[in-house]
Amino acid sequence: MKFLREPLVQFLFLGGLIYLAYGLFTPKIEEDTSRHIVVDNAKVQWMQSTWQKRWNRLPTKEELDGIIEQYIKETVLYNEAIKMGLDKNDGVIRRRLSQQVEFLAKDLVVYTPPSEEDLKKYYDEHQKQYTPDARYTFTQIYFDPDKRGNKTLDDAKRVKEQLIQQGSMLQDVSSLGDTFMVDRYFQSSSKFDIRKNFGTGFTEEVIKLEPGKWHGTILSGYGVHLVYMQEVLEAPAPPFSQIKEQVLQDWTIEKQIELKDQFYEALKSYYTIVVEDSNVSVLGKVN
């Protein structure tokens, strides 16, 4: 029925499920005035079930005794911590409890599976993320500032002018510039490959270069470079039919994040929020 798909109905239903799950799976602590710890059959069965899910077998008698003893120890220490007020104003505990609610919300949120049309639309809107990295073919000439000192930039510009006048990069450039630890010629290199050899600054400059001409001077962490960009190969995104499973996975992750955020905003809307600092702005419902 349509009303079951309304976000508010889903959030109310989800809230009920969270409290139900909390009641079923969270060990119940007696009132602070009580000194009784009851490990009933339901708790024992839950311990056995949890162990079996993790180890694919039921615990032995000794292992079960150890699990029960650990539960009793945790319960005793937890009760005493609560009585001592150790849970108050503790950032670690606050963060841990908030994370548990988020984990419950992630597991309990149910969304309508996407249709083929939905997935194709998602693919079209996010096609860039499925497009393979461009490949760059270029030649670089290196000028060593440790060797050339203040003349480094002037030497590089002079060589560049010579290369432009000759009007071709097909000549042998091995005699130009200085020796360098990496190759002069790079064929079909990815952005990652270029960054690995020259660093981020150099890479961000090189991937913008127009093919068919000499460029420079371009700086790297090693020194000064002239670069001839021979070719930039932009590969198209693979067809939807080839990566449909990946698109479905990405759509699912994005939908989970979206519903989790909506769930939080729905919970937040029930709170009155006051921030006693005129320099801080908090977006939310303030009654």
SS3 of residue 162 by DSSP: helix
Name the most confidently modeled range: 30-34, 88-92, 122-126.
Answer: 122-126
CATH number at residue 146: 3.10.50.40
Banded model confidence at residue 108, pLDDT cuts 50, 70, 90: low
pLDDT tens-digit map of 161-195:
888 887 655 567 778 889 888 889 999 999 899 99
Residue 143 class from Cβ within 10 Å (0-12 exposed, 13-18 middle, 19+ buried)?
Answer: buried
pTM here?
A: 0.48
Q: Is residue 67, in this structure, part of any structural domain at all?
A: yes
In this predicted model, which residue has the larger pLDDT, 74 or 276? Answer: 74
Which neighbouring-strand residues pair with 138?
Answer: 186, 229
What's the domain count of the chain?
2
Distance (Å, whole) CA 140 – CA 262: 51
Q: Which residues pair with 233 in a beta bridge?
A: 135
**How far is residue 87's CA from residue 77's CA, in Å, rounded to a whole number?**
12
First-to-last alpha carbon distance for the chain, in angstroms, is: 33
Mean per-residue pLDDT, 87-108: 76
Query: Which pLDDT score is estimated for 277?
Result: 61
Tell me what pLDDT residue 29 has: 45
Q: Looking at residue 26, what is its pLDDT?
A: 52
In a domain, 226, yes or no: yes
Q: Please check whether residues 65 and 26 belong to one and the same domain.
A: yes
Q: Report yes or no on 283 lying in a domain.
A: no
C-alpha angle 38-40-43 in degrees, rounded to nearest 5: 105
Return the pLDDT at 215. Answer: 93
Q: Does residue 253 form part of some domain?
A: no
Q: Is residue 247 part of a domain?
A: no
Using CA atoms of 82, 83, 87, 88 in order, give the dihedral in degrees to the nearest 10: 150
Q: Which residue range forms the structural domain that includes residue 151?
A: 132-233
| The pLDDT of residue 23 | 54
In this prediction, residue 33 carries a pLDDT of: 43
Q: Is the pLDDT of residue 132 over 70?
A: yes
Assigned domain for 190 exists: yes
Q: Is the pLDDT of residue 3 over 50?
A: no
Q: Which residue has the higher pLDDT, 282 or 44?
A: 44
User: In this predicted model, what pLDDT tens digit does every residue of 192-208 receive, in sequence order?
Assistant: 999 999 999 999 999 99
**Which is more confident, 48 or 8?**
48
Q: What average pLDDT does the segment 39-62 reach?
A: 91
In a domain, 213, yes or no: yes
Sheet of 135-143, strand order: 185-189, 135-143, 224-233, 213-219
Packing angle, helices 91-108 and 7-25, rounded to 10: 120
> Average pLDDT of the chain?
81
